Structure 1
Amino acid sequence: MGKLVVVVNVTLDGVMQAPGGTDEDTRGGFRHGGWATPYADHVMAETMGRGMRADGALLFGRRTFEKFCGYWPRQTDGNPYTEVLNRKHKYVASRSLAEPLPWQNSSLLKGDATAAVAALTREVEGDLVVLGSGELVRSLAGAGLVDIYTLSIHPITLGSGTKLFAEGETGYDTLELVDAVPTTTGVIIATYQRRRRASETS
């Protein structure tokens, strides 16, 4: 049985919206897309690459899946992420998509997302890694399903935008820091393990 691992870029004030590009997600009039791009360096690439190469599968919400699907399968520049993302099995939580999905090794989760993911963690060999997918992450966190958060915390505040956790969206969790890697650009790649709630251990 693997762990459910959330991998997210966030700002110091908790915003996770559109880290990669200006047109990635403009919902709510968000104008700061691409805020994470200037902070990429070799330390981040090596650290995240090790995690990506580990055994397991990937999990996406619909919006993030479509963004990734529109970019990564078309890359031919030898980027090591391309091979990993194409090869790994990808599960997609969506009420609007239908199979067959356009990206190789992709499957649509049927029914309630939290129930489907809970079952999936018992079946997948290795970890089940969620990339981005804020709405899905908040649902899974609220259901107590997330085991590990790997947060790339960027030294920038935006003051607006969709946050990883909005007030009242999840139950109370206590996290334990298990690893922290500073990059040359000031990003802290922090890995937190969730401590089980009392109701889950009783």
Structure 2
Amino acid sequence: MGTITVFASVTLDGVMQAPGRPDEDPRGGFTHGGWALPYQDEVAGRFAAEGMSQGGAILFGHRTYDDLMGFWTSTPEPNPFTEALVAADKFVATRRRDIRLDHPNSTALVGEASDTVARLRAERDGGITVLGSGELVRALIAAGLVDDLVLLQHPLVLGTGTKLFDTTPVALELQRSLTTTTGVIIGQYAVR
């Protein structure tokens, strides 16, 4: 059986929407896109590279898959993230039967995520990392399918935007933490 780890950037008030670029996700009139950019440093980069070097599959919601793969595969080479993303087995949770996946090693999991991801987790050995994908993450947490959370907690409060957590209680046990030079606290948690 596989294990599912969520890897997400969040603000102190739990917002996860559009950390990477100003135009990343303006849904709901969100105007703070790119909020994580000023906090990038070598510590966070090394931590992300460490996780990517462990291999394993990547799981996305379809919007995050389209955005993230589209961005990283159009970024000028050389880029270690592009190579790792393209090479990895990618699974896309979606309700759309007509979804088109344009990148190699990509498989659609069509249906309700709580069902399709539960089957994937049961059938696949090794790690499965969820990148972004807030709606998917909330559904997986509610279904009890998340084993670990890696949260990059940025010292910032936005007051608006899509949040990582909803009303589902989650008990966590801190496994590891480190602080970047820009004040981001990287917490690795096991879900109890």
Q: TM-score range by the shorter chain?
A: over 0.9
User: How far is 1:4 from its partner?
Assistant: 0.5
Name the stretch that deviates more: 114-123 or 135-144: 114-123
AA matched with 2:129: V
**Where does 1:34-45 land on structure 2 (aligned, <5 Å)?**
34-45=34-45
Cα-to-partner distance string for 1:94-131 (whole Å, 9 max, x where unaligned): 12363651011101002221111111112223111000
**Where does 1:182-197 land on structure 2 (aligned, <5 Å)?**
182-195=179-192
**Where does 1:51-62 land on structure 2 (aligned, <5 Å)?**
51-62=51-62
SS at match of 2:191: strand
Cα-to-partner distance string for 1:130-169 (whole Å, 9 max, x where unaligned): 0000000000000011110000000011011111112x2x
Report the counterpart of residue 177 of structure 2 in structure 1: 180
Contact 2:5 2:147 (C-alpha < 8 Å) held by counterparts? yes
AA matched with 1:42: E
Report the counterpart of residue 73 of structure 1 in structure 2: 73
Rounded to whole Å, the distance in 2 between the matches of 1:110 and 1:104 is: 18
AA matched with 2:27: R
Rounded to whole Å, the distance in 2 between the matches of 1:194 and 1:99 is: 31
SS at match of 2:95: coil
Rounded to whole Å, the distance in 2 between the matches of 1:97 and 1:83 is: 28
Contact 1:55 1:125 (C-alpha < 8 Å) held by counterparts? no
Q: Aligned residue pairs: how many?
A: 192
AA matched with 1:110: V
- Gapped regions of structure 1 (runs ≥ 5): 196-202
Report the counterpart of residue 98 of structure 2 in structure 1: 98
SS at match of 1:159: coil
Give the TM-score, by structure 2 length: 0.95
Cα-to-partner distance string for 1:52-87 (whole Å, 9 max, x where unaligned): 121310000011011012112233422211111010
C-alpha RMSD over aligned residues: 1.3
Name the stretch that deviates more: 175-184 or 70-79: 70-79
Report the counterpart of residue 198 of structure 1 in structure 2: none
Rounded to whole Å, the distance in 2 between the matches of 1:22 and 1:178 is: 32
Report the counterpart of residue 200 of structure 1 in structure 2: none
AA matched with 1:96: R
Q: 1:156 to 1:97 in 2, by over 3 A?
A: farther
Report the counterpart of residue 110 of structure 2 in structure 1: 110
- Gapped regions of structure 2 (runs ≥ 5): none
Give the TM-score, by structure 1 length: 0.91
Name the stretch that deviates more: 115-124 or 153-162: 115-124
AA matched with 1:158: L
User: How far is 1:2 from its partner?
Assistant: 2.2
Contact 1:56 1:124 (C-alpha < 8 Å) held by counterparts? no
Percent identity between the aligned chains? 52
Rounded to whole Å, the distance in 1 between the matches of 2:43 and 2:79 is: 15
AA matched with 1:177: L
AA matched with 1:191: Q
